[in-house]
Amino acid sequence: MFKKIKEAFRKFIDSASSIIFSREKLESLIDELKLELVASDVAYEVAEEISARLLKAVDEGLVKSREDLQRVLKNILIEVFEKAGSVNLLDVARANKPCKLVFLGVNGVGKTTTIAKVAVLLRENGFKPLMVAADTFRAGAQEQLKIHSERTGIPVFTGKYGSDPASVAYDAIQFASSRGFDALLIDTAGRMHVDVDLVNELKKVVRIVKPHFKILVVDALTGNDAIEQARFFNDAVGVDGVVVTKVDAYEQGGVPLSIAYILGKPVIYAGVGQGYKDLKPFNVYEYVNKILPD
């Protein structure tokens, strides 16, 4: 996990430790680090920020040893995440019963599986969740949630294929209110072809549902595509928090950092397997210590 970005930082620290007092040579190494970070799925503007902050620390005399270098880099990364804030989804759900969660993301990123994982998490914490299949155009979308429903025992609300997704979501809210469900997890369309129809569809769902939290699901293995998807959905309807899937198989490592910086929104969970309990709260310090081990 995170092998590439870890190697980039280790290589930089090893090389820079012996030339800390030569700003010219250090600047050259920082430029190399920037390229290595971009190759590890760190968005260019994030790599630029890290480089600029590092040089500033050198100029201010804060870097006089290998340990200083390590500490400054860690602080830079932690501050990126701190600016994005943090959210406990369970607290959001407890404060807003019935809690309406809308899930966003393109097809193939593990969105329906993530919905089922979050539903299981909510049930384990005392909620009565209902999954809602509001992706009414993609063949198999409803069937996927039905399979998760059969495996987890958590009910799913469906509509007719081709029907208005916002209407399905609205009917689900009425159904949930009359049946005592206190958490709705609403799936939405994520056609790979991004067009104005999809944007209008998502905007209508959000307008009708009035969600308490909008969760974007991205696949870490798609690298820069995940970052562009984050930009798209945030610009289209806004994103409150992000789940990054397939983290357990992800070598590059830069996607969580890039998303936190670019969106200014927290990464709330990491998918680390296919099991329904393979959803970990994203821990900033664990992530930073993983890629910059002492």
Show binding-site residues. 105-112, 187-191, 245-248
Helix, strand and coil in the chain, % to nearest 5: 55, 15, 30
CA–CA separation, 89 vs 77, rounded Å? Answer: 23
Neighbours of 48 (CB within 10 A): 14
CA–CA separation, 59 vs 171, rounded Å? Answer: 60
3-state secondary structure of 269: strand
AA identity, residue 149: S
- The 3-state secondary structure of 75-134 reads HHHHHHHHHHCCCCHHHHHHHCCCEEEEEECCCCCCHHHHHHHHHHHHHHCCCCEEEEEC
Binding site as annotated, residues for GTP? 105-112, 187-191, 245-248
AA identity, residue 227: I
Nearest to 103 by CA among 232, 255, 250, 205: 205
